[in-house]
Chains A and B, each alone.
Chain A
């Protein structure tokens, strides 16, 4: 079934769109224009994300505006004004400095959406340290790996997470000097080896002057997964805020007075770029809900908080669809004027469901950890082709490159840019401000991301005659589950630590709600009984080490795994078998050597 283009006109927007209908074709935009939308540090001392998001709004009338409206799991509410946030982040910057944290040191967080996270994030940036937020559902092993690669000196987390995930591995984290707990009240004794963040904050001065900050200084460290090897730490710099702000304007159409809600977890790049930074650079109110997905609760928030711009994920949209249109129609969504989604391709049914149930189509957009900000988007004023990720934003140059079995085809370092209608790898011309500046301690993997002057995204796409991009699949084996990127190698390595496992191959199995779920194929060692009890044990083993979001949800035993001649597991063959594709299809589907 093909879906009709959703045409837009002036009746579709209540405020004039930031990006007019035909502006995508304009080249009047430059990144210098976007830089001028920001203030820079006073006295020309550089550019700091925390100044643009917090301090510049904290003086005068805007200081009393609500920056963050925090909704607790159990009905609590807390309004943090820009002035409140400035004082808290000032205190946090002092706390870190008093602990001996220097510019460039890594400060990690492992928390849900609690108010302390926001103070930590901007306090870290004020102090010139590098913020690395971890996904709170990670188990001990992904946390340990990331803290080790990032050489985290400080970890901000909660008591339960510390006791369950950190205490047991603390002796394997030589760089980790300080653990600050968000939920130990000032004056109460924290568990051994930890400090109470509240105590430290209470003793800290609430005035602070952000030091000179070079726009090219590292600010954010986001981990992402590849097909092979350990997680990659993508480094972003303070200049990324130019992109955060510009995309808030273009892709999310943020206007003064908006109430914005980004539902992403802070442990993933969306939760930082758009859940923490972007709404605040625009000086608007950001809704922060501590709870996880709950359909009724979400409709109550959309309606009760008068959310005007909502940025969510395909899995959430699909779960809302399961309730039908009625709850959406019963909710007062009169304030809502723009809905966007990111994380994995949004199926056309979900786009159209938005039009029917919410009264607004859901606007898919595309970007990834390495790009730091939205690159390709369905924008408020442009026609929506359901199922397409949209068109490149101003300042973004995208192309489809010729792609073969070994990746992008190069001849003497040159690549072939394909015309419309051809399938290939999505590539971007480097130069946008939130482009990652490297993978931490891994220059080789960074270099492999480029060819012929293009950044290679790893996504296979086509572009149609109107310039809309359509996602086809990944060129590698990474798994996208509920919007989270999962590296199969990480999961396989953990399963291999179990004494019964000889070999493991992990794939993404298509799932109607999550996009994909993690499925493991396991070869057991000789004389081990491959039965249901072992299957459950291995799933439990994976979950306790990796966390529920990363561990396999399904596990099957096989006699052997398919390998290439060079010995690599052919995960795509496993996936094709799982999907019931005829093996005869594989020569054309895979283009890979078989054993």
Chain B
């Protein structure tokens, strides 16, 4: 997936985890927990959702890297293969 598609995927998954969020207004560089009041269970569900959507697994150890939209996109670019 190219960066644009990945970004759309990240925002779609974020919208599933936190449906109250207007994903068009998310600051991609700001911590989702501070910005949107996501909790650590939400981050876990985000990691699961990203895996389901892209086939890239985010192990617990790397959760610190997916706390922003940019972080998610960067992580998936770096680690991502084709969808499972």
Contact = CB atoms under 8 A, between A and B. Distances in A.
Given A160-B34, A513-B44, A543 B18 contact: yes
B20 to A, nearest CB: 4
Interface stretch (A113-121, A123-131, A291-299): A291-299
B19 A548 contact: no
Interface in A281-308: 292-297
A537 B19 contact: yes
Contact of B37 (A293, A319, A536, A548): A548
B19 A536 contact: yes
Interface string B25-58: 0000001011001111110110000000000000
A540 B19 contact: yes
B63 A539 contact: no
Contact of B60 (A73, A322, A539): A322
A549 interface: yes
A548 B38 contact: yes
A372 interface: no
B64 A293 contact: no
A327 interface: yes
A73 B40 CA distance: 14
B53 to A, nearest CB: 16
Contacts of B16: 536
Contacts of B18: 540, 543, 548
B37 A137 contact: yes
Contacts of A234: none
B79 interface: no
B60 A292 contact: no
A137 B36 CA distance: 11
User: For the complex, would chain B's binding face be called helix, strand, loop or mixed by DSSP majority?
Assistant: helix
Interface string B13-24: 001101111000
Nearest to A292: B40
Contacts of B64: 294, 296-297
A323 interface: yes
Contacts of A323: 59-61
A540 B14 CA distance: 12
A404 to B, nearest CB: 35
A298 to B, nearest CB: 11
A544 interface: yes
B16 to A, nearest CB: 7
A539 B17 CA distance: 9
Interface string A524-550: 000000000000110111011001110
A interface, how many residues as a size bin? 20 to 34
A482 interface: yes
B1 to A, nearest CB: 23
A352 to B, nearest CB: 19
A321 to B, nearest CB: 9
A508 to B, nearest CB: 14
Nearest to A547: B37
Contacts of B63: 294-295
A164 interface: yes
A137 B41 CA distance: 12
A553 interface: yes
Contacts of A164: 37
Nearest to B15: A536
A514 interface: yes
Contacts of A327: 61
Contact of A544 (B15, B20, B41): B20
Nearest to B64: A294
Contacts of B41: 482, 513-514, 517, 548-549, 553
A191 B19 CA distance: 29
Nearest to A536: B19
Contacts of B45: 553
Contacts of A539: 19-20
A323 B59 CA distance: 8
Contacts of B59: 322-323
Most buried by A among B19, B33, B61: B19
Contact of B19 (A139, A294, A296, A543): A543
Contact of A296 (B33, B44, B61): B61
B36 to A, nearest CB: 9
A553 B44 CA distance: 12
Contacts of B15: 536
Most buried by A among B21, B38, B40: B40
Nearest to A511: B41
A137 B61 contact: no
Interface of B: 15-16, 18-21, 31, 33-34, 37-42, 44-45, 59-61, 63-64
Given A295-B61, A327-B61, A549-B41, 16 more contacts: A139-B37, A292-B33, A292-B39, A293-B40, A295-B63, A297-B64, A322-B60, A323-B60, A513-B44, A536-B16, A539-B19, A539-B20, A540-B19, A540-B20, A541-B20, A548-B41
16 contacts: A160-B34, A292-B39, A293-B40, A296-B61, A323-B59, A323-B60, A536-B15, A536-B16, A536-B19, A539-B19, A540-B21, A543-B18, A543-B19, A548-B38, A549-B39, A553-B45
5 tightest Cβ-Cβ pairs between the two chains A and B: A540-B19, A540-B20, A536-B19, A544-B20, A548-B39
